[in-house]
Amino acid sequence: MKLIEFTTTKTGNSKDQVKVQMLIQVNYKELLAKDIERLKTLSFPDAKQICQDKGLTFTDQDLQDAMYGTAPSRKGLVTGMEQSLNGSNPDSTESLYTKHPQYNFIKVKTSNNENYITGLIVSETILVKDQNPEPYKATNSGIVVQIKNTIKKALSLETEKFRTYRIDNLTQFEGV
């Protein structure tokens, strides 16, 4: 693992210019394995209580699907992580990128040649706030997604700290 610092402009609703500290060259599969173990040790009653404490209304089947579901629209946390761990997750976006020829920790999106970096976020500081951010669209996530998000947050899963940023300027990585 290596700690780096860089600046970039965020994509999405708000185009804030940010300074990011990130751990790169992290073994993502190790983090996945640890998070899977944490999820598997979470008892059904404890998971149910976590979600009820957040005011969610759901069935036992919803909770079961959120953890171990296999249906495409109800894939469970453990199911998806295990697929990622063994390289069989059909939802993976890794095939959209190639390695950068000069920087082994930068990936290049094949569709538009934009540079991206992925790692474990340490901090993000806004340097210049976007004065005209696009308004967020209201979302109405299904109950399985709400359960998964609640559990991920409650357990502070390490894989949830993984972030990908588009890189505006590669020269800041010279000498890294």
Count: domains in the chain: 1
Q: What is the per-residue pLDDT for 140?
A: 82
Distance of alpha carbon 47 from alpha carbon 52, whole angstroms: 9
In a domain, 114, yes or no: yes
| DSSP annotation string for 138-167 | P----HHHHHHHHHHHHHT-GGGGEEEEEE
**Torsion of the alpha carbons at 176, 12, 123 and 22, rounded to the nearest 10:** -30
In a domain, 54, yes or no: yes
In a domain, 88, yes or no: yes
- From 119, 30, 139, select the one nearest 81 (Cα to Cα): 30
Distance of alpha carbon 151 from alpha carbon 94, whole angstroms: 25
Q: Which domain holds residue 153?
A: 2-170
| DSSP annotation string for the chain | -EEEEEEEE--SS---EEEEEEEES--HHHHHHHHHHHHHHS-HHHHHHHHHHTT----HHHHHHHHH--SGGG--HHHHHHHHHTT--TT--GGGEEE-SS-TTEEEETTT--EEEEEEEEEEEEEE--SSPPPPPP----HHHHHHHHHHHHHT-GGGGEEEEEES-GGGGTT-
Distance of alpha carbon 110 from alpha carbon 105, whole angstroms: 16
In a domain, 176, yes or no: no
Q: What is the per-residue pLDDT for 175?
A: 81
Per-residue confidence in pLDDT tens, the chain, 176 aa: 999 999 999 988 899 999 999 999 999 999 999 999 999 999 999 999 999 999 999 999 999 999 999 998 899 999 999 999 998 988 888 889 999 999 999 999 999 999 999 999 999 999 999 998 888 877 788 999 999 999 999 999 999 999 999 998 999 998 88
In a domain, 139, yes or no: yes
In a domain, 59, yes or no: yes
pTM of the model: 0.86
In a domain, 33, yes or no: yes
Single-letter code of the amino acid located at 16: D
In a domain, 133, yes or no: yes
Residue listed under structure tokens 């249906």: 71
